[in-house]
Chain A
Amino acid sequence: MIITFSILSAIAVISALLAVRLRNLVHATLTLMAFFVALAGLFILLMAEFLAAVQILVYVGAVGILILFAIMLTQQVTGNVKEHIEAHGALWGLAGATAVLLTLLLPAILKTALPLQPVVETIDPSVRALGLNLMAPYTIALQVIALLLTAALLGAVVIAISPEKSEEEKKS
């Protein structure tokens, strides 16, 4: 268990680090996919199989592909960024992020008394219970999410449509 956990979390951290530090955008996206898959593995370790499947379906199958499409539409197809990649004040950014990690997150985790063992040893995989929850107590939330996704879909199409091209189409 601990070995699987260490391997998966090492893959997750290293590939996430590569995803934000690599110069080549397509490589960064591919390592991001590795990060998503490793995280799905961690979900399985935590006995959330359905969410692991959803994680792969949504992130690798949709979000990652979307990022690749965006790269193909904005950059040179090789994905190599020629200019330098650091933002102004990148060192301040590094310092800030490290400060957040070292002064806020880690102390909060290490100082709190957290359970070493899960309260319930085994959990039945329960897609059915998840569905029933979505249908009964969380119906409104589900509807709102559906509305949000529809709005996001329409919004994305409206934003990404190029205005010049549609005028050209009107002329022709």
Chain B
Amino acid sequence: MVPLHYYLVVSAILFFVGLLGVLTRRHAIIVLIGVEIMLNAANLNFIAFWRFGPNPDLLLGQLFTLFSIAIAGAEAAVGLALVIAVYRFYKTPDLEKMTSLHE
């Protein structure tokens, strides 16, 4: 059996990768992809803790992950609609060029 540590380390690395995508890329869609990766890393944590936890019969981790997947779906839909709307206004998906508040 693989110990719990391993799953958590993988999940931490995945979270790091997602954060990297959010912080270092300037394309709006890649930033959204980074957010999705971070959410998935958190889901992996939930499932791992559910499996190794004291009462897996309660299915708490699975239920939480189910809700989180549903919310991630909603987030992706609204986020991508925002990207498209912003793209129509600025004619660019580049987050660095959306600076009208700053000027």
Number of A-B contacts (CB under 8 A): 236
Verify A86–B29 contact, CB threshold 8 A.
no
Q: Does A133 contact B (CB under 8 A)?
A: yes
Q: Does B5 contact A (CB under 8 A)?
A: yes
Interface residues of A in 59-105 (CB under 8 A from B): 59, 62-63, 66-67, 69-71, 73-75, 81, 83, 85-88, 90, 92-94, 96-98, 100-101, 105
Distance, CA A46 to CA B80, complexed state (A): 31
Distance, CA A5 to CA B84, complexed state (A): 38
Verify A20–B66 contact, CB threshold 8 A.
no
Q: Which residues of A contact B70 (CB under 8 A)?
A: 58, 145, 148-149
Q: Which residues of B contact A59 (CB under 8 A)?
A: 36, 40, 69, 72
Main secondary structure of the interface of B (DSSP, over half): helix
Q: Which residues of B contact A162 (CB under 8 A)?
A: 88
Q: Does B30 contact A (CB under 8 A)?
A: yes
Most buried by A among B17, B26, B69, B82: B17
Chain A residues within 8 Å of chain B by Cβ, number: 86
Q: How far is the CB of A151 from chain B (nearest CB, A)?
A: 8
Q: Which residues of A contact B1 (CB under 8 A)?
A: 1, 116-118
Verify B84–A141 contact, CB threshold 8 A.
no
Verify A130–B62 contact, CB threshold 8 A.
yes
Chain B positions within 8 Å of A, measured between CB atoms, are 1-10, 12-27, 29-30, 32-34, 36-37, 40, 43-44, 47-48, 50-54, 56-57, 59, 62-63, 65-67, 69-78, 80-85, 87-88, 93-96
**The 7 nearest A-B residue pairs measured at CB:** A93-B23, A20-B21, A152-B74, A156-B81, A105-B12, A101-B16, A160-B81
Chain A positions within 8 Å of B, measured between CB atoms, are 1-2, 5, 9, 12-13, 16-17, 19-21, 25, 28-29, 32, 35-36, 39, 42-43, 45-48, 50-51, 54-55, 58-59, 62-63, 66-67, 69-71, 73-75, 81, 83, 85-88, 90, 92-94, 96-98, 100-101, 105-106, 109-110, 114-120, 123, 126, 129-130, 133-134, 138, 141, 145, 148-149, 151-153, 155-157, 159-160, 162
A-B contact pairs, 7 of them (CB 8 A): A45-B2, A51-B62, A55-B69, A66-B80, A101-B12, A101-B13, A106-B9
